[in-house]
A and B are shown apart, each in its own frame.
Chain A
Amino acid sequence: MSEVFISGIVVFVLAAFVGLEVISKVPPTLHTPLMSGANAISGITIVGAVIAAGAGEGTFAIVLGFLAVTAATINVVGGFLVTDRMLEMFKKKPGKSQ
């Protein structure tokens, strides 16, 4: 197994433990926004998609790359925006709306 691959595994395991620790005691109110926000972060695959699209040679590879970038961008842009919309609603203080 290559050096790069092994250090990748190290990073993966450590990051997973951070992920386990960072989420604890979340009030149910925030379950949906948190899921939506985490979902947007999983759109990090956009980085891979951009690399794949840029490196693509041949029509088919380019089409695959384009589709990957499109799908990942929908996930990222839509995910962060919809999370923000949900959270924006909590912000309103009772006094403001009256």
Chain B
Amino acid sequence: MTELLYLGAAVLFIFGLKQLSSPRTARRGNMLASIGMLIAVVVTLANMENIGWGPIIAGLLVGGGVGAALALRVKMTSMPELVAAFNGFGGVASALVALAEIERTSSVFDTETGVVVALSLGIGSITFSGSFVAFGKLNGSLPGRPILLPAGQVINAILAIAMIATAVWAISAEEALAYWIVVGIALVLGVLAVIPIGGADMPVVISLLNSFSGVAAAMAGFVISNSALIIGGALVGAAGFILTVLMGEAMNRTIANVLFSGFGATTAGPVSTGDKPVKSATPDDVAIALAYAENVFVVPGYGLAVAQAQHAVRELATELEAKGVTVSYAIHPVAGRMPGHMNVLLAEADVPYDQLLDLDQSNPRFPQTDVVLVIGANDVVNPSARDDATSPIYGMPILEVDLATTVVVVKRSLSPGFAGIDNPLFYQDGTMMLFSDGKAAVESVIAALGNV
């Protein structure tokens, strides 16, 4: 009976994932998956005999309280790092399940159980430390830029080999200490693997670590012979992997590229801002351009998320619409700090869903667009990705805003974006630069609109 109920929970997970992939059903999908989880937990509790309730109840209460508080309080702009942190907790939980099993059995396992114990420990611990490095990079407590260690790849390879060798020792000698050493090496490896990766690539890394935490859960399932863990873990492991590939595709990057290239560090060559003329604009200039346009595209980027300018942008759009201007938003797949993050932020500010256009919908419209307002975006509107075969971002899909009549770029300075390369868009004839923080800029334009 237990097994059948676990199967029911797994079916709910599958439907949940399926429905999460489509905008109309996504919320229901999440609900279904959470019901599946509830069933799995209740069935497990109902089935246990001679147990100590204390640690279970305490853990559920503490974990539930902390999880709910974090989830309900987080600002939508800092949601990506919260997902990274949650993922880290999932990874460490799987490792702890394996450690508890080592403690319970005094590390006497048959070979195959020893292997899955070592895998839960290794993968779970890498997920834990890697996720928290990603968390630190996203919330700014660690530098977002890639930190490259000399011979970093070699060190990682040596650590990986050492971890496997220690695991072999642990299994053959039935030695608990050796299993703990596996945990230690895996924790270091997780840190060293993520630290050289730039902040812009963190979404892909978190997605990959999410896949890892699924695999770790499945391995823990083998350790305690539990089908719910094996099914749920395998599902997330595979689905998370596909999602990682999809995200990489949206950024025109392969996973290997993200993990091993130290993106941003290698391309930070001489940025020749040189003496090229830049047209600097005042909020009044921008307000006039916007007020007399027929149609306006807003291109929001990372800078908008950082400045929390989504509500101000929404207000500006309302003002413009009152003047008869058509306003749409062009959302690059990787705008914000995670794919889809920008949509969440704009939805939070009550921007109508049908005004959000994706890359394929926006690009054909730019040539007929009067004004494009680029707020805190850079690499995703860099025409070099289309025109300059020598550019490091060549081939990355971009929003072709340079084809519009007028482009207004709101940006704090001429500094390059994550890719560390110059943007010819800033120097073209139809471009005006408004140097300011995203939110302050939008607010001053709104004020100036009142006088137009």
Contacts and interface: CB of A to CB of B under 8 A. Distances in A.
Interface string B74-101: 1010011011001101101110110111
Could you tell me the dominant secondary structure of chain A's interface residues? helix
Contacts of B147: none
B59 A41 contact: no
Contacts of B51: 54-55
A81 B55 contact: no
Given A19-B17, A47-B41, A64-B103, A70 B63 contact: yes
B20 A34 contact: yes
Given A89-B347, A92-B347, A19 B59 contact: no
B37 A32 contact: no
B128 to A, nearest CB: 9
Interface stretch (B134-142, B232-240, B298-306, B381-389): B232-240
A10 to B, nearest CB: 10
B244 to A, nearest CB: 9
Contacts of A19: 17, 214, 234-242
Contacts of A39: 83, 86-87, 90, 210, 213, 236, 240
- Chain B contact surface mostly: helix
Contact of B231 (A11, A28, A49): A11
Contacts of B334: 28
Contacts of B86: 36, 39-40, 43, 74-75, 78-79, 82
A31 B243 contact: yes
Interface residues of B, number: 118
Given A16-B234, A41-B16, A71-B93, A84 B228 contact: no
B56 interface: yes
Interface residues of A, number: 87
A66 B20 contact: no
B350 interface: yes
A12 B408 CA distance: 53
Contacts of A32: 79-80, 83, 203, 338-341, 344
Nearest to B234: A15
Among B26, B94, B230, B242, which residue has the most Cβ atoms of chain A within 10 A?
A: B26
Nearest to A43: B90
29 contacts: A1-B112, A8-B221, A8-B222, A12-B222, A19-B239, A22-B14, A24-B21, A28-B339, A30-B21, A30-B22, A32-B83, A35-B338, A40-B30, A41-B17, A43-B93, A49-B96, A51-B44, A51-B48, A51-B224, A55-B100, A61-B103, A65-B96, A66-B58, A68-B97, A70-B59, A72-B63, A76-B37, A77-B71, A83-B30
Given A74-B70, A94-B350, 16 more contacts: A5-B113, A19-B214, A22-B235, A32-B338, A35-B83, A44-B13, A44-B217, A48-B229, A51-B226, A56-B100, A62-B54, A69-B63, A71-B93, A81-B67, A82-B83, A92-B350
